Amino acid sequence: MSGAKQSERARWRDRPTRISITATASLVFGLARALPLTLASNIGGFLGRTVGKRFMKHRNFIRNLSTAFPDMKPAEVEGLLPRIYDNIGRVAAESAHLGDYATGRRGAMISIEGREHLPKPGPAVFVGCHLSNWDIGVVAMAREFGALNTIFTPIGVPALDTGLARNRLASGATYLPRNRTTLKAILDGLESGVSVAMLVDQRVDSGPIIKFFGHDAKASDFPAKLALRFNIPIIAVDGERLSPKHFVVRFHPPLWPGDYRGPKAITDMTQAVMLRLESFIRRSPESWFCYKLRWKASKDSRPTHHEDPVNPACSPGSIPDHHGLQTKREVRARRPR
């Protein structure tokens, strides 16, 4: 294990740090449930800006943003961080009000754009990234479909994971942690017509190498494998906070598996997905929660742009996991007898 990783893990094992994180999380969730939505969001943003640099991987944000936006000056990159920390504080506080967004109570509202891109009938694979409040997109999808499986990765901080799990019960979706049991539930759900949603902007070392912001990067090919296996579309989703009470969620034109053929179909479809997500991040880098290192060090870091083969309008220049899939039958066949 490298010295950097040892240092990072030691910091999270440090008892005062754990106590501080737990206390802050408990404060945010407790206040958020007791306060009106707008006030809760504003306090969450304030706490994010105030303590974000202490508890989050500050250097990872700088490295990711500097790689993605090489034309930004160091001061510009640093200037994004308070806004990113503000956003994640708001995400935590707003999670206590997901039920309000789902039902429209207390003035909470979700506007939908691109509803015409949703499959009728049949399931789809929805993909997004850690932008704005990504749980609002889940609420919007669950409201449109009535049933939705959402894959998430636990943060690893018990106070945060417990608080978020409790709040997400009101979203209308089923949140499933990333593990083998979840894989079977996702496959069973798709076979019975239940869509699946996931965030795929983070690095997945078992995935194929694609271009992300012009750099070589490994990405999850799980969405592409699902789409090709079940012959269903991938629909990219992004959202924007217009105010604490009002979000807009956008469904983008589907990526159809029939447009990706041959031995590189999975990689090509994965590339198309990542180009869509890249366009969202380029539009709102100040709300990209890129807390994990997205790129490993590379000798050649010069960016190159690749167009989306299905929708060239999504190319960067024109912007205005479990991965081993089996069908239900194959899963049953692999069970020990």
pLDDT digits (tens, 9 = 90+) for 185-231: 999 999 999 999 999 999 999 999 999 999 999 999 999 999 999 99
| Cβ within 8 Å of residue 78, ≥6 positions away | 62
- As a whole number, mean pLDDT of residues 60-70 equals 95
Tell me the mean pLDDT in the region 48-65: 87
The helix/strand/coil state of 67 is: helix
Average pLDDT score over residue span 163-171 = 89
Q: Report pTM.
A: 0.82
DSSP secondary structure code for residue 1 in this structure: -
pLDDT: which is higher, 323 or 295:
295
Q: Which residue has the tokens 């417990």?
A: 162
156 vs 264, residue with greater confidence: 264
Report whether pLDDT(5) > 80.
Answer: no
Q: What pLDDT score does 332 carry?
A: 44
Give mean pLDDT, residues 142-147. Answer: 88
HEC secondary structure over 191-232: HCCCEEEEECCCCCCCCCEEEECCEEEECCCHHHHHHHHHCC
240 forms beta bridges with 248
Distances (CA, A) of 18 to 15, 40, 125, 228: 5, 23, 36, 43
Mean pLDDT of 37-50: 93
**pLDDT score recorded for residue 19:** 66
* pLDDT on residue 106: 87
- For residue 18, what pLDDT is reported? 64
CA distance 240 to 282: 13
Cβ atoms 238, 250 nearer than 8 A: yes
> Does the pLDDT of residue 309 top 60, yes or no?
no
| pLDDT at 121 (0 to 100) | 81
| 306 has a pLDDT exceeding 50 | no
Indicate the average pLDDT of the chain.
Answer: 83
**For range 75-81, the mean pLDDT:** 96
With cut-offs at 50, 70 and 90, classify the pLDDT of residue 65: very high
Element (H, E) at 302: none
Quick check: helix, strand or coil at residue 116?
A: helix
What is the pLDDT at residue 314?
A: 34
Maximum C-alpha span of the chain: 61
Cβ 273 vs Cβ 311: under 8 Å: no
Cis peptide bond upstream of 121, omega within 30:
yes
Q: What is the pLDDT of residue 15?
A: 59
Say whether pLDDT at 26 is over 90: no
> What pLDDT was estimated at residue 86?
95
Element (H, E) at 265: helix 265-283
From the list 127, 52, 57, 84, the residue with the least C-alpha distance to 293 is 57
Rounded to the nearest 10 degrees, the angle between the axes of helix 265-283 and helix 222-230 is: 130
With beta carbons less than 8 A apart as the criterion, state whether 217 and 301 touch.
no
Task: Identify the residue with better confidence: 30 or 301.
Answer: 30
Q: Are strands 125-128 and 195-199 parallel, antiparallel or unpaired?
A: parallel
